[in-house]
Structure 1
Amino acid sequence: MNGFEKRANLIKEKIMQTTLDMLRTSEAKKIRIADISKMAKVSQVTIYNYFGSKEALLREVFKNYFDKAIRDFEDYMNEGHSLKEKIEHIIFLEKESYNDFPPALMKELLIEDNELSRYIEEQYKERTIPLTVRIIQEGKDSGEISDDVSIENVLTFIQLYMNQYETILEMANKSGDMDNFLEGMVHMFFYGVCGKR
């Protein structure tokens, strides 16, 4: 990579990070290219040259964020953690993504951008599901998941949790101690309401 390409990448990253920072405090509809330009200290023309439109910039920011989250988790998966640690890490990542991309913003972006929606669906099928199956299989191999429980059972249980994740995170937020609330949910995920025997 030559000096020009390095500078171009740094400018793109700066624009994308600025956009992500703005999304944490503002609705996507209210953010203008002029605002991003001012905050990133680059011209509007530069933003349009790199991304073409605000919609394309938002899509790129979200895709980049999603790709990084999966790469980071894949790295974590290869560090030899227990099943419980992996599940706790997933919940930690979900909590972090909730702060960066609240569910309402995610829905808004996915409804308004068919290309982004297709991309997320594709990533879910090609990367997220295989990673989840790997976690479950490793849990079964290590004896952390009962032989009486199939991979399909665990996937279904995880899906039930994920379908209600927005509600769970809102309740965790209202509890006043999100970390403790989520720790309790992890405990229930593994041991049910009766706890360890």
Structure 2
Amino acid sequence: MDKAEQRSLNKRSKILDSAIGLFLTHTVKKVTMDDIARQAHVSKVTIYKYFGDKESFYASIGETIFDRFYSRIENHHHEKETLTQRMINCTHVLIDFITSQNLSLCLALSQLNEQVKKEHEMFNAKIRKILISQIKEGKTLKLVRSDLSDDVIYHYIDMGLNYFQCNLEYRHKITTDLTFSKAFMTFIWSNIFMDYSDFQVNGSYE
């Protein structure tokens, strides 16, 4: 890649980061293309030059967010750590996806853009594949309960993440009360793992 191509990629990333930052702070409906242009120190013409139109711009924002969080999860999934620690790390990325408001932003964008909605569906499918893979590995290692199907365990984890997304009181308590967080996470993981001592130490949402 030559210097001109690198500068172009850098400018494109700066525009996307500027838009994401503004959307997270002020919501999608309150931010204009003029706001984004000022934040990125470019003209609106430059934004449309890189992204074509608003629809394509929204799609690129959604794709960028999903790619960034999936890359983090995939990296943790392939770490040379215990299965327990890898599951904790992957779960923490999904928690960060929620607490950082990036998930809410993607949900808002999906209401305006069909491509973002499809990207979200693909993201969920890839996350499911990783979690199912970890569940299967846990069963092979005789760490995860074999009397429960992979699908049941996956939906149990997914249910917890959805509750964390929807219930603000619970989200606040689990992220600010360390004693409650560790006790509650131990309770959750004890329903999946036969030996959950690692979660008693590392299982909080710190």
Structure 1: gaps spanning 5 or more residues: none
1:61 aligns with 61
Bigger Cα displacement from structure 2, 24-33 vs 157-166: 157-166
Mapped to 2, the partners of 1:28 and 1:172 lie a distance apart of 23
TM-score, length-scaled by structure 1:
0.84
RMSD between superposed Cα atoms in Å: 2.5
Separation in structure 2 between the aligned mates of residue 100 and residue 55 of structure 1, nearest angstrom: 24
Q: Sort the Cα spacing of 1:27 and 1:52 in 2 relative to 1 into closer, same or farther, 3 A.
A: same
Cα 1:97–1:176, aligned 2, differ >3 Å: closer, same or farther? closer
Moved over 3 A (4+): 102-106, 178-185
The residue aligned with 1:122 is: 122
User: Residues 58 and 116 of structure 2 are in contact (CA less than 8 Å); yes or no, is this contact kept in structure 1?
Assistant: no
Quick one: structure 1 residues 87 and 180, their matched pair in 2 at CA, closer, same or farther if it must change by over 3 Å?
farther
Greater shift after overlay, 132-141 or 170-179?
170-179
Identity over aligned pairs, percent: 22
Could you tell me whether the CA contact under 8 Å between 1:136 and 1:145 is conserved in 2?
yes
Corresponding residue number in structure 2 for 1:162: 161
| Distance in structure 2 (CA, Å) of the matches to 1:117 and 1:181 | 35
Give the conservation status (yes or no) of the 8 Å contact 2:12–2:50.
yes
**CA distance in 1: counterparts of 2:174 and 2:81, whole angstroms:** 29
Equivalent residue, structure 1, for 2:185: 186
Question: Secondary structure of 1:24's partner?
Answer: helix
State the AA in 2 paired with 1:38: R
- Which residue in the other structure is 1:172 paired with? 171
- With over 3 angstroms needed to count, the CA separation of the structure-2 counterparts of 1:135 and 1:28, relative to structure 1, is same
Name the residue aligned to 1:47. 47
Tell me the TM-score normalized by structure 2.
Answer: 0.81
Structure 2 counterpart of 1:140, one-letter code: K
Paired residue total: 194
CA distance in 2, matches of 1:124, 1:176: 23
